[in-house]
């Protein structure tokens, strides 16, 4: 996959189908709008020889060729961005190229994407899926948090003796990799320096690192009594009779309060807070009662109390959104597990027929979810991936090559149908996903032939083939993923495959590679565990299977 498509996919893979990507060209100051990533990529390719930019914020509609989306109109953002110019000719206090790259790589949170724009770098910290800005309050919060993150990076840069700009505007456009920077001589092509699998699981990642100089200025969400303010009491406790009654009637609520849900794996404290707030709001609790309950629950779990009004306002706002879907959830209560009509009902929402839904329970009690479509098993991942609309629809689209468009209001119904179809099975060691990936990795390397430790690692790396570097065997994650899809008919996300490789003892590194054009770039590569690598390193390099033709230089 070329840099243009890698970049657009990283940013917008999980965007809503009706949100528009802005592509803007400097020469004629023209805007083009796309709901489809591939269409946007083709347009950018056609303008790759000129200054071409992509909007950080998504638009609710096509704004026309002469307009760009304003910050007040942005409906979603893929993440936060920073821009670091280098070179003394820029302005006094500008870092060197080495300082600029080191600054980004050593930021409080490592960025998901770093792009070399020709005379500087810009970095992106991406969310698990675009942050949906459904109200002016959310836009103000996003704008404020983006600005605070930018100010934090500026302060860190100043401590190192150089200056950077704050590019926190939600409507900011940034140069697209794979296009030419013709603003300054000599003209250079923007390229991706690094692209990782990391995504911010929630906004708390940023709140925990910003150097907040002043309280948040975005509007507070109104509490139940107009004009009232929430009281954040570190010793708060819930109203006991109501609390005990709700626990007795809802075991999931009780488990959430205890931070001990067994039906989900790896929940953050914020996810527990949202679960608690949603249950309590459906039960008719007031905002203040809910806030007291969350603080109490965090106290009992020995967690940080998050005594910030903005955090609790945001949690309450999300819980209200969940409450708006409660009627749909109530409707699902009449669907019995195993109902033979469920697959047909589900197909009316998806446009795709799912034959089976299987939850494999692993040894640690967590589950891995799969669906069967057209006889092919498709991995969805842990429960968090199943419950995320963008990730679920993306996995189904990737497996079927058909557009899956699910309305937000229908999503609780779809989830209920999926859960109604779910079958539970236990994974033995042979069926454990990590062991399956181990087997696939071995077979993939078998098909690549013996790897010569003295071979041209640069050439093999640039062709995404296994290579020996620093006496270790390394592979391209994307090449392994394509092999799994092609030869094992399994659809795995990059993140899922990366998790399994880490469980096998692998690790990722950045390797500088010289391409045929003598251009220097960086690839993200993965070390093969030594017990697997030993059998595949030798002095000859002759492929043992026809599959080796898959790995020609691209």
Highest mean pLDDT: which range of 49-58, 385-394, 533-542: 49-58
pLDDT at 510 exceeding the cut of 80: no
Pairing of strands 422-426, 356-361: parallel
Between 111-115, 288-292, 324-328, 507-511, the lowest mean confidence (pLDDT) is in 324-328
CB neighbourhood size of 333 (10 A)? 8
pLDDT at 381 exceeding the cut of 50: yes
- The single-letter DSSP state of residue 87 is S
The pLDDT confidence band at residue 219, using thresholds 50, 70 and 90, is very low
Nearest to 286 by CA among 316, 258, 257, 249: 316
User: What pLDDT shows up at residue 220?
Assistant: 32
CB neighbourhood size of 159 (10 A)? 8
User: What pLDDT shows up at residue 215?
Assistant: 39
pLDDT at 284 exceeding the cut of 90: no
Average pLDDT for 405-412? 78
User: What pLDDT shows up at residue 427?
Assistant: 58
Between 215-224, 312-321, 403-412, the lowest mean confidence (pLDDT) is in 215-224
% residues pLDDT > 90 (the chain)? 20
pLDDT at 31 exceeding the cut of 90: yes
- The single-letter DSSP state of residue 540 is -
Chain segment 419-452, per-residue pLDDT in tens = 888 888 765 544 466 777 887 888 888 888 888 8
Average pLDDT value for the chain? 80
> Residue 372 in 3-state DSSP?
strand
Chain segment 246-266, per-residue pLDDT in tens = 888 788 888 899 888 887 777
161, two tokens: 């003796």
Taking phi over 0 as left and psi of -120 to 50 as alpha, with beta for the rest, 546 belongs to alpha
pLDDT at 179 exceeding the cut of 90: yes
Q: Which is more confidently placed, 514 or 271?
A: 271
pLDDT at 227 exceeding the cut of 80: no
Q: Which is more confidently placed, 92 or 16?
A: 16
User: What pLDDT shows up at residue 333?
Assistant: 42
The pLDDT confidence band at residue 323, using thresholds 50, 70 and 90, is low
pLDDT at 484 exceeding the cut of 50: yes
The pLDDT confidence band at residue 270, using thresholds 50, 70 and 90, is confident
Between 5-19, 270-284, 320-334, 440-454, the lowest mean confidence (pLDDT) is in 320-334
pTM of the model: 0.49
Average pLDDT for 185-203? 84
pLDDT at 327 exceeding the cut of 80: no
User: What pLDDT shows up at residue 40?
Assistant: 94
Q: Tell me which residue has tokens 């304003």.
A: 70
Nearest to 495 by CA among 234, 173, 129: 129
The pLDDT confidence band at residue 295, using thresholds 50, 70 and 90, is very high
C-alpha angle with apex 482: 481 to 484, nearest 5 degrees?
Answer: 65
User: What pLDDT shows up at residue 521?
Assistant: 64
pLDDT at 519 exceeding the cut of 80: no
Cα 421 to Cα 85: distance, rounded to the nearest angstrom: 53
Between 101-110, 161-170, 387-396, 539-548, the lowest mean confidence (pLDDT) is in 539-548
- The single-letter DSSP state of residue 106 is T
Q: Contact 463/553 with Cβ under 8 angstroms?
A: yes
Q: Which is more confidently placed, 230 or 221?
A: 230
Q: Which is more confidently placed, 236 or 546?
A: 236
Q: Which is more confidently placed, 224 or 8?
A: 8
User: What pLDDT shows up at residue 434?
Assistant: 73
Chain segment 109-153, per-residue pLDDT in tens = 989 999 998 888 999 999 988 898 988 888 888 888 898 899 899
pLDDT at 536 exceeding the cut of 60: yes
% residues pLDDT > 70 (the chain)? 83
The pLDDT confidence band at residue 365, using thresholds 50, 70 and 90, is low
16, two tokens: 């809503």
Q: Tell me which residue has tokens 């090449």.
A: 479
Gyration radius of the chain's alpha carbons: 25
User: What pLDDT shows up at residue 140?
Assistant: 86
């Amino acid at each position: 996959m070329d840099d243009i498509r890698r970049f657009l996919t990283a940013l917008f893979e999980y965007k809503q189908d009706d949100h528009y990507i802005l592509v803007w060209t400097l020469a004629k100051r023209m805007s083009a709008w796309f709901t489809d990533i591939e269409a946007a990529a083709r347009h950018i390719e056609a303008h790759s020889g000129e200054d071409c930019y992509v909007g950080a914020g998504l638009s609710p509609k096509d704004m026309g060729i002469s307009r760009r989306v304003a910050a007040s109109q942005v409906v979603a953002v893929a993440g936060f961005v920073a821009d670091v110019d280098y070179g003394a000719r820029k302005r006094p206090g500008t870092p060197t190229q080495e300082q600029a790259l080191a600054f980004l790589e050593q930021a409080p949170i490592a960025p998901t994407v770093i792009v070399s724009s020709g005379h500087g770098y810009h970095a992106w910290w991406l969310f698990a899926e675009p942050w949906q800005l459904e109200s002016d309050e959310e836009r103000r919060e996003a704008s404020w948090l983006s600005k605070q993150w930018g100010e934090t990076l500026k302060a860190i840069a100043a401590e190192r003796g150089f200056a950077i700009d704050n590019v926190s505007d939600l409507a900011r456009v940034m140069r697209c990799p794979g296009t030419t920077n013709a603003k300054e001589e000599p003209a250079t092509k923007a390229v991706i320096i690094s692209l990782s699998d990391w995504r911010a699981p929630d906004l708390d990642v940023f709140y925990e690192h910003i150097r907040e100089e002043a309280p948040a200025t975005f509007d507070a969400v109104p509490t139940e009594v107009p004009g009232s303010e929430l009281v954040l009491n570190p010793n708060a406790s819930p109203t006991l009779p109501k609390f005990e009654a709700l626990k007795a009637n809802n075991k999931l609520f009780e488990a959430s309060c205890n931070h001990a849900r067994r039906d989900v794996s790896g929940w953050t404290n914020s996810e527990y807070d949202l679960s608690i707030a949603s249950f309590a709001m459906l039960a008719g609790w007031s905002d203040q009662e809910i806030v007291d309950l969350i603080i109490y629950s965090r106290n009992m779990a020995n967690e940080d109390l998050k005594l910030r009004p903005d955090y609790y306002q945001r949690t309450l706002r999300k819980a209200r959104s969940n409450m708006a879907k409660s009627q749909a959830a109530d409707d699902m209560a009449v669907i019995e597990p195993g109902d033979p009509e469920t697959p047909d009902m589900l197909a009316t929402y998806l446009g795709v027929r799912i034959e089976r839904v299987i939850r494999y329970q692993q040894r640690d009690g967590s589950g891995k979810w799969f669906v069967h479509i057209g006889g092919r098993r498709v991995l969805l991942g842990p429960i968090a991936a199943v419950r995320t609309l963008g990730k679920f629809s993306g996995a189904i689209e990737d497996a079927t090559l058909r557009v899956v468009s699910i309305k937000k209001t229908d999503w609780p119904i779809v989830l209920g149908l999926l859960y109604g179809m779910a079958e539970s099975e236990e994974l033995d060691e042979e069926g454990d996903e990590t062991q399956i990936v181990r087997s696939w990795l071995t077979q993939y390397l078998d098909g690549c032939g013996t790897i010569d430790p003295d071979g041209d690692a640069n050439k093999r790396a640039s062709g995404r083939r296994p290579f020996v570097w620093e006496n270790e065997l390394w592979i391209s994650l994307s090449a392994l993923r394509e092999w799994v899809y092609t030869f094992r008919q399994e659809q795995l996300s990059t993140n899922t495959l990366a998790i399994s490789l880490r469980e096998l003892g692998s690790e990722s590194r950045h390797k500088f590679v010289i391409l045929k054009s003598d251009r220097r770039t960086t690839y993200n590569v993965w070390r093969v565990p030594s017990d697997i690598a030993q059998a595949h390193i030798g002095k000859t390099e002759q492929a043992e299977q026809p599959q080796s033709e898959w790995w020609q230089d691209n």
